[in-house]
Amino acid sequence: MNVEAKLEKLGLELPNLEDLYRTNASGAHYISHYPVQNLLYLSGTTPRKGGQAYLPGVVGKDLTLEQGRKRRAMRP
């Protein structure tokens, strides 16, 4: 299964990074991803759905174990 198919299966969409930069409350522009050959390094990224953070929080505090598993399944 490729990345696009997995995102579609999970009901997620790949956000436009330029839009995220424009709406960043701090006004900071950071590098959230950096490609090196066939690897893509990610930093400070979180699951998003419909333009909003998806299941933010800490398992056991803000999220149930089941929610944590659901969120984990979204990681590449």
**Per-residue DSSP letter, 15:** P
Backbone φ and ψ for 42, nearest 5 degrees, come out as: -115, 145
Give the pLDDT confidence of 16-53 residue by residue, as tens digits: 777 766 666 666 666 777 889 988 887 766 667 777 77
pLDDT score, position 23: 66
Q: What is the pTM of this model?
A: 0.37
Comparison of pLDDT for 49 and 3, the residue scoring more: 3
Task: Read off the pLDDT band of 54 (50, 70, 90).
Answer: confident
pLDDT score, position 63: 86
Q: How far is CA 20 from the centre of its chain?
A: 12
The domain segmentation of the chain, as residue ranges, is: 3-73
